């Protein structure tokens, strides 16, 4: 679970880093986050059972299939038609309609918030090393860019559930 979730998160981060300029829409409810936390391992197992067709490369492949690397390409990807069997996995585990988009928003939002928390600690730890400060500042900027793809209300919801989400992503 941890290896696959990490790979998915990194693939999503890479996809996101292509940019996002449009305003994101709010997609999450408390119930969605609860369902993800309760069913993260089941979601991962069911996605694994689909084989290589929908692994971490799906995010990058779907993004590339749009034929664009414009700043809005990530948000365009959120609108790509997701295969029925992937959506069925999300519905089965309580994420309902648009479940894969909710899954992406949770992964991207959690990843951004987690990166920010980690970088804040690292900035303090390396306060006397300017070269590390520069690297950490760049990483925080990347986290900020990721956050820009998630609606502020969704980020707020995720930030309140960080400990539970961290356990789900383990």
Query: Using one digit for the tens of pLDDT, what is the confidence trace for 8-44?
Result: 444 445 444 444 456 788 999 999 999 999 999 999 9
> Domain tally for the chain?
1
Interhelix angle 130-147/2-16, rounded to 10 degrees, is 80
Query: Using one digit for the tens of pLDDT, what is the confidence trace for 133-146?
Result: 777 777 777 777 77
How many Cβ atoms from other residues are within 10 Å of residue 11's Cβ?
19
pLDDT above 60: residue 45: yes
Domain carrying residue 9 = 2-169
State pTM to two decimals: 0.74
């Amino acid at each position: 679970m941890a290896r696959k979730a990490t790979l998915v998160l990194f693939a999503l981060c890479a996809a996101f880093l292509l940019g996002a300029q449009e305003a994101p829409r709010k997609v999450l409810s408390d119930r969605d986050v609860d369902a993800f936390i309760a069913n993260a391992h089941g979601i991962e197992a069911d996605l694994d059972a689909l084989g290589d067709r929908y692994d971490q490369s799906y995010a990058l492949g779907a993004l590339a299939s749009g034929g664009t690397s414009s700043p809005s390409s990530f948000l365009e990807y959120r609108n790509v038609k997701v295969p029925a069997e992937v959506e069925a996995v999300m519905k089965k585990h309580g994420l309902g309609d648009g479940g894969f988009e909710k899954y992406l928003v949770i992964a991207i939002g959690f990843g951004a918030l987690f990166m920010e928390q980690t970088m804040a600690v690292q900035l303090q730890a390396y306060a006397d090393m300017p070269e590390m400060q520069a690297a950490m500042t760049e990483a925080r900027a990347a986290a900020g860019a990721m956050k820009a793809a998630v609606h502020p209300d969704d980020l707020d919801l995720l930030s309140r559930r960080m400990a539970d989400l961290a356990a789900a992503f383990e």
